[in-house]
Structure 1
Amino acid sequence: MTSFISKIKIDKPVEQVYLFLEDCNNHEKLQPENIYNWTSTRDEAHFTIQNMAKLSLVVKERIANQSIEFVPSGNAPFDLFLKWMLSRDTDGSSNVILELSADLNMMMKMMASGPLQKLVDYQTAKLAEVL
């Protein structure tokens, strides 16, 4: 598995960040323009990545105020998981880590590494902006 990680500090309490992230409906606000055809419920999201694939992600696990993990539901072009991890900083703000891990062959790794790292960086920055 290849991991793409982005970290950010958000000047909001962990509880507020967690409440936003635990609902898949809110994740549409964190997506770049090349993600479209978004439909979601609290537990699942379906979308298309321009020029790549259609994906469906479902919440695998929620640990209140600590983490939310997503895995594919249905067919995915490769195995992957997405995990948001939260911790409270000493000043009351939140430390947020987004990790996307994907099982990529050498060719896919060369093609997708840059875009996947940009995606996780975009989503953490957008989370800070939205909150």
Structure 2
Amino acid sequence: MKVNTKKVRFAKNQQDAFNFLLDMKNYEQLMPTDTKSFEIHESGKGFTVGVGSLPKVGMRLKETVEPSKIVFESPAPAFEYTLTINIEAVDDATSDVELDFDGNFNMMIEMMAKKPLTSFIETIADNIEKVA
């Protein structure tokens, strides 16, 4: 299952956008309004979030390519997915950010999760655009 957001304009240059998105504390402000829980992992390299009807979703930092890419992966072996955040420089004050989710789920889980997961990923992208 793939979910790709549109590119959103971020009011930070590429390096500042990368640093912002690498700091797990900043993800709390990017979450949807129906977020029930948000916990940063002890390592500081990931988080778990409970949103709406979705079960808790974990994200663990997998790799970075400074200042253009951050990749998260599932911390649970039962669910295989990655979330790749691509950051493109626009000018000295702005960048474009795109989120690409790629999950390997069975058809039943994919049918149940596609709509809420797509909404979740798109909300993060929309909220990135609103960060001042």
Q: TM-score range by the shorter chain?
A: 0.7 to 0.9
Look up the match of 2:53: 51
Q: How far does residue 94 in structure 1 lie from its aligned partner after superposition?
A: 0.8
Q: How far does residue 75 in structure 1 lie from its aligned partner after superposition?
A: 5.0
Look up the match of 2:86: 85
Tell me the secondary structure at the aligned position of residue 53 of structure 1. coil
Q: Quick one: distance in 1 between partners of 2:12 and 2:119? A: 24
Deviation per CA, 1:39-87, whole angstroms, max 9, x where unpaired? 11531212223433233321011111111111122355x2111111111
Which letter maps to 1:98? L
Look up the match of 2:4: 5
Q: Quick one: distance in 1 between partners of 2:110 and 2:74? A: 19
After the TM superposition, which of the residue ranges 51-60 and 21-30 deviates more from structure 2?
Answer: 51-60
Structure 2 spans left out of the alignment, 5+ residues: none
Q: Quick one: distance in 2 between partners of 1:120 and 1:55? A: 12
* Contact 2:81/2:101, CA 8 A, preserved across alignment: yes
Structure 1 spans left out of the alignment, 5+ residues: none
| RMSD over equivalenced CA pairs, Å | 1.9
Which letter maps to 1:20? F
Deviation per CA, 1:6-59, whole angstroms, max 9, x where unpaired? 121224211121111001111111111333221115312122234332333210
* Contact 2:35/2:52, CA 8 A, preserved across alignment: yes
Deviation per CA, 1:70-127, whole angstroms, max 9, x where unpaired? 1122355x211111111112x4421111011111222222222222221121111101
Percentage of pairs with the same residue: 23
Superposition misfits of 4+ residues, deviation over 4 angstroms: none
Tell me the secondary structure at the aligned position of residue 128 of structure 1. helix
* Contact 2:36/2:52, CA 8 A, preserved across alignment: yes
Q: Quick one: distance in 2 between partners of 1:125 and 1:62? A: 22
